[in-house]
Amino acid sequence: MDFLPIFLNPHKKPCLIIGGGPVALRKAELLSHTDAIVTALAPAFHPNFEPLVRSGKVVLRRKAFDSSDLKGFALVIAATDDTTLNATIAHSARKSGLWVNVVDQPELCDFIMPAIVDRSPLIIAVSSGGRAPVLARMIRARLESLIPANFGRLAELAGRFRTRVKPVVPNPKERRRFWERVLQGSVGELMLAGQTTAAAEAMEAALKSTNKDHVPLGHVALVGAGPGDPDLLTFRALRLMQEADTVVFDRLVSAEILALVRRDAEKIYAGKARSEHTLPQEQINHLLVRLAKEGKRVVRLKGGDPFIFGRGGEEIESLAAEKIPFTVVPGITAASGCASYAGIPLTHRDHAQSCLFVTGHRRGDQPNLDWNKLVVPQQTLVIYMGLLGLQEICQALIRHGMAPDMPAALIQSGTTPQQKVIIATVSTLAERAREKNAAAPTLIIIGEVVKLSEKLSWFQGQEKGEEK
């Protein structure tokens, strides 16, 4: 180990940065996030030093370096573009008993500045010992995507309760298990979702239950899995899927997305198709409540976005009624995902200034829609679950004033390698869909924006069925 990883407390310590260029600026910006007293010394400075000066974070000294300038400082950073001068600074600092960092010259450094993931008070440092700083930054970027932004708040919450937990759970091994349980359970999820008050209340409840034969409540996350492509999952969705004890998933959740769930998690299929409900909605609601009361971390995984034709509101109403902690993670809805992968912008300055989402589910033998609101100039119409009633929908739109030659598209299995895009008009789309043996899941887009598909289509993993 060439460098010992340590964390320095810079509180009110005088720190000197020698250099006035972009490299020195980056070091000044980094130190400005602390309570250090920062001075930058150079004959001239990059203009972007000025905001730091105005904020009171940095003081500038416009002069050439002299060894006497080191007096009174706790540590020194040499960040000039002159390697000879940097070596002189390092020698002078070391002679004065000061720790020195020389940018990009690790052989002259007493300490180095790592790549940092800042979730204050949680700090993660990544270093290659100066050998491969780009690699260290790549690792930092990967960690940034894996560690939620609110981890700092969670650390602060744990700090507030730390002295209270120790006397309640005196055994170190049991105390470690207690912290693992609360930080990975509802307390942690509530805090990561920004529900600070609820997280503190859950922490209080966890403390009160430590000496009782009581299973603490679990947590339910209502998670949008997006339209099919696993790369469209949010960071939070992926993290929750990999931490869940139980995942309750729908028919529209692809096998590729389900494969990202923690391997030993219980997986419960609750899919719904036309005339086939594996679990009725009421049973799903009761199931989520029961699993949470068993203390489990539950993910309710739904295709698209849970609040857009996903009945997510009904499920969390049941959770709220039972006082079950829950969070909602939005997903990319089928409308935006499928339209993007088909090269169809839902709005466009020249073609559509509004967009309307409706569901094509039938009530009785006919789709139950407000047709007058659907036939509006300069509007894109997006119809979910409309394949079964497609012919009736198109005919009704024409009867209510839509031009028969209005461009229309049907997108099957959007965003996946099996994507099929059928381009036609309102008068011919149903026939074209039958010819192409269209099958669910599908999305229908109607409007002038559909004409842009041929020019803007970019996704190569699709089969097209176009009518010119």
Residue-wise pLDDT tens digits, 39-77: 999 999 999 999 999 999 999 999 999 999 999 999 999
- Tell me the pLDDT tens digit for each residue of 256-298: 999 999 889 999 999 766 555 568 889 999 999 999 999 899 9
CATH 3.40.50.700 fits 335-466, yes or no: no
Which CATH architecture fits 217-332?
3-Layer(aba) Sandwich (3.40)
Cβ atoms of residues 253 and 301 within 8 Å: yes
Q: One fold for both 14-113 and 217-332? A: no
Among residues 272, 293, 436, 464, the one annotated as catalytic is 272
**Domain definitions of the chain by residue range:** 14-113, 148-214, 217-332, 335-466
212 flagged as catalytic: no
Which residues pair with residue 125 across a beta bridge? 116
Q: What is the pLDDT of residues 149-189, one digit of tens each?
A: 888 989 999 999 999 999 989 988 888 888 988 888 888 88
Residues 27, 250, 296, 302: which is the catalytic one?
250
Cα–Cα distance list, 135 to 125, 128, 147 (Å): 13, 8, 18
Structure tokens at 342: 């088909």
**Hey, how many other C-beta atoms are within 10 angstroms of the C-beta on 14?**
14
Give the integer Cα–Cα distance in Å for 464 and 455: 13
Confirm if 425 and 413 have CB atoms less than 8 A apart.
Answer: no
The span from the CA of 281 to the CA of 120, in Å, is 42
pLDDT at 202: 87
For residue 410, the one-letter residue type is: L
The pLDDT of residue 466? 47
How many CB atoms within 10 Å of residue 78?
29
> 400-405: long-range contacts (C-beta < 8 A, 24 or more apart)?
400/371, 400/372, 400/374, 400/375, 401/375, 402/374, 402/375, 402/426, 402/446
Q: Give CA–CA dist 98/71, Å, rounded.
A: 10
Residue 177 has what pLDDT? 83
423-443 mean pLDDT: 95
More confident residue, 9 or 130: 9
Of residues 180 and 220, the one with the higher pLDDT is: 220
In whole numbers, what is the pLDDT of the chain averaged over residues?
A: 90
Give the strand pairing for 419-425 and 407-412.
antiparallel
Topology of domain 14-113, CATH: Rossmann fold (3.40.50)
Residue 299 C-alpha from the chain's centroid: 16
Determine the Cα–Cα distance for residues 467 and 209; give it in Å rounded to an integer.
66
| Angstrom distance (rounded) from CA 442 to CA 384 | 7
Q: Please tell me the distance from the alpha carbon of residue 296 to that of residue 262, in angstroms, as a whole number.
A: 14
Separation between Cα atoms, residue 213 and residue 210, nearest integer Å: 8
∠ Cα 139 140 141 (to 5°): 90
The tens digit of pLDDT for each residue in 292-322 reads 999 899 999 999 999 999 889 999 999 999 9
The pLDDT of 331-347, averaged and rounded, is 96
250 noted as active-site residue: yes
Structure tokens at 149: 């932004």
76-100 residue pLDDT tens = 999 999 999 999 999 999 999 999 9
Looking at mean pLDDT, say which of 88-102, 199-213, 272-286, 363-377 comes out highest: 88-102
| C-alpha to C-alpha distance for 16 and 99, rounded to whole angstroms | 11
CA distances, 387 to each of 90, 102, 231, 393, 404 (Å): 73, 66, 26, 9, 18
CB 250 within 8 Å of CB 315: no
